[in-house]
Chain A
Amino acid sequence: MIMNDKIYSGILKGTAILFVVLFSGFIGTLATNSWESLEIFGLGFLSGREWNPVTVQFGAWPFILGTLLTSFLALAISLPFSLATGILLGEYVKSPGLARFASVFVNLLASIPSVVFGLWGLAVVVPLVQRLQMVLGVPPYGVGIFSSSIVLAIMIMPFMASMTREVLKNVPESVRHGALALGMTKQEVVLGISLPYVRSGIAAGVLLALGRALGETMAVTMLIGNATRVPSSIFSLGNTLASVIASQFNEAESDVHRSAMMLLALVLLSLTFIINAAGRKIISSGAGRNHGRI
């Protein structure tokens, strides 16, 4: 078989183009399928506060808000825990056996079906939140944006922790040893040297985790209470873009209803696109700086 650099480069380029074409086709299919509702509602779809299959009135605002609320709340909850775990694995535990255990464990957790997280959340998290809500004097629904955020936080924790551990690997061991030799405590090394060194990597990890949280479907669908009203607080019942699609798509009666959900998918896709693009931008600018230093 004749192989040369030109063919090789051509194959790579071909693959890249195939990806781009497939993705465009995907967007195209989504766009054609959502055209009907786009024609009816226009850009007002984004700010529309009502979602009513009976009157065939559809607006995405309750779900955009619900998605942003759950995702950012989940991020805020999981950040201290994932940072701690990442630092523990990246800075304190240096045994390769433990590191391997951690990576197997992360994969294992990634494989637990989302529906199982949902069931677990219903059995464990919801009653706890219900108790908290009674203490706070808000309606004790149990389910809602807050409960979904907690479970979502648990779901993205392994991912963020392993991202943190990975970027901490980039801190040259010699820098660490030097600092310790100069009499710095471990805490001073971590807070003063390692974390600032990988700041951009962690920021990017956070954004990528956010990208995951935005699209998470089944567990959220089971825990968020599925109200189509605009959420008024973090204890409100709500819906995310993904959860409303998951809960209504299979039984949508009118074509407009179905096409409105396709439009929701496009909105979600754009949201993810923006978040990921921002994350990549930080990684590429950060990576450049790190390279300069080493």
Chain B
Amino acid sequence: MKKAITPSALAAVFLCLVLGAAGAQGAVSLLGSGASFPAPIYSKMFDVYARETGVKVNYQAIGSSGGLKNIMDRVVDFGGSDSFVKDADFSKYPGTIVHIPTVAGAVVVTYNLPGSPKLRLTGDVVAEIFLGNIVKWNDAKIASLNPQLKLPNLPIMPVYRSDGSGTTFNFTAYLNAVSAEWKSKVGSANSVSWPVGQGAAQNAGVAGVVARTPGSVGYVELAYANQNKLAVASIRNSSGNWIEPSLESTSAAAAGSMPKDTRILLVDTNASEGYPICALTWIIVYKEQNYGGRTREQAKAVVDLLWWITHEGQKYTNALDYAPLSDSAVKAAEAIIKGITYGGASLR
């Protein structure tokens, strides 16, 4: 009598598991993990891809370094990362890896000031704000860039991403490029030791703090700013033009020369119409796909997917506030994808 309840429940669970295990393996499915920045666009692309080709792609946003670790451990078919693998780290991978750019993104500087004026900032001034050198909004350095505005005598509160993120990496990489003081005192990484300001988790956290704290300034991804209609600053790029962050100015930043392996920092671009705080995001796979008992079919599925993402898939980017790849980036990606092999033979 006493056993009546639990065993029946257990049996039900077991049945579920057994049935599940016996479930059809069916069509090819692919696994990817990594950066969370491109996760929404990937979910759109892979949903369409599953309906068009029947290949189910499961991408999980566990973070760039998680994705790199997974591809290193060979537990996924591809990794996603917001930053490229450094030369010194290549040897840690059990095989040769290649980077395929998928979409481009931008990091915007957002702020909370009475009346939401449109601010113009230079990289150097942004660096000084986040270093704690400029502490008031009516500082002469900000005022001289915005002569038409009457800036308030309000203390500046910088807000940064507290969780390690590619957003922080790209933002600090930009400050590194434009400010020697930043480079020597703070540097660039997914998480850095911030001299001043307060941290908040995720884009939503930063945007939330900025929204409710007058005088605050933070950085978030362009998609986030567009979706939530945040006040964003125009930044002067290296050609001396004031550039508003937008999908066009992001794509433009990537329109310059592209190295063969696509491992390039787009920040502080020399493209004249390019927004200066931009970055590519990549999918990382092994060049030789015949490893760990993988079938040729599986390898072919990876290559076809990569081709689709960098071509047909690009048309879904704008609706989700991602910038499509520039032509030069697509060209470079094509060459890399054609170089992926199975048992030494190209798959495309």
Taking residues whose C-beta sits less than 8 angstroms from the other chain, chain B's interface range is 20 to 34
B65 lies within 8 A of A253 (CB): yes
B201 lies within 8 A of A251 (CB): no
A250 lies within 8 A of B66 (CB): yes
Q: With an 8 A cutoff between CB atoms, is A141 at the interface?
A: yes
Q: Which residues of A contact B164 (CB under 8 A)?
A: 53, 247-253
B199 lies within 8 A of A251 (CB): no
Q: Which residue of B lies closest to A56 (CB)?
A: B189
B190 lies within 8 A of A225 (CB): no
Interface string of A50-66 (1 = CB under 8 A from B): 11111100000000000
Q: With an 8 A cutoff between CB atoms, is A83 at the interface?
A: no
B192 lies within 8 A of A54 (CB): yes
Rounded to whole Å, the gap between the CB of B334 and the closest CB of chain A is 29
Q: Which residues of A contact B200 (CB under 8 A)?
A: 143, 225-226
- A-facing residues in B191-216 (Cβ within 8 Å): 191-194, 198-201, 205, 208-209, 212-213
Q: With an 8 A cutoff between CB atoms, is A109 at the interface?
A: no
B193 lies within 8 A of A250 (CB): no
CA distance A50 to B186 in the complex (A): 13
CA distance A143 to B189 in the complex (A): 24
B166 lies within 8 A of A251 (CB): yes
CA distance A250 to B186 in the complex (A): 21
Q: Which residue of A lies closest to B86 (CB)?
A: A253
Q: A54-B193, A127-B212, A142-B213 are in contact. Are A227 and B199 (CB under 8 A)?
A: yes
Q: Which residues of B contact A129 (CB under 8 A)?
A: none
Q: Which residues of A contact B187 (CB under 8 A)?
A: 54-55
Q: Which residues of A contact B62 (CB under 8 A)?
A: 250
B192 lies within 8 A of A52 (CB): yes
Q: Which residues of A contact B208 (CB under 8 A)?
A: 122
CA distance A135 to B63 in the complex (A): 40
Interface string of A89-130 (1 = CB under 8 A from B): 000000000000000000000000000000000100001000
- A-facing residues in B95-109 (Cβ within 8 Å): none
Q: A54-B187, A55-B187, A222-B201 are in contact. Are A251 and B193 (CB under 8 A)?
A: no
CA distance A247 to B63 in the complex (A): 11
Rounded to whole Å, the gap between the CB of B344 and the closest CB of chain A is 32
Q: With an 8 A cutoff between CB atoms, is B162 at the interface?
A: yes
B199 lies within 8 A of A54 (CB): no
- B-facing residues in A135-175 (Cβ within 8 Å): 140-143
Rounded to whole Å, the gap between the CB of A108 and the closest CB of chain B is 21
A251 lies within 8 A of B65 (CB): yes
A54 lies within 8 A of B163 (CB): no
Q: Which residues of A contact B188 (CB under 8 A)?
A: 54
Binding site for B on A (CB under 8 A): 50-55, 122, 127, 140-143, 221-222, 225-228, 237, 246-253, 258
Using A251-B166, A252-B191 as known contacts, list a sample of 6 further A-B pairs with CB atoms less than 8 Å apart, ordered by residue number in A: A53-B192, A54-B186, A54-B187, A142-B209, A228-B193, A251-B65
Which A-B residue pairs are the 6 nearest by beta carbons?
A251-B164, A226-B162, A250-B63, A226-B199, A54-B187, A52-B193
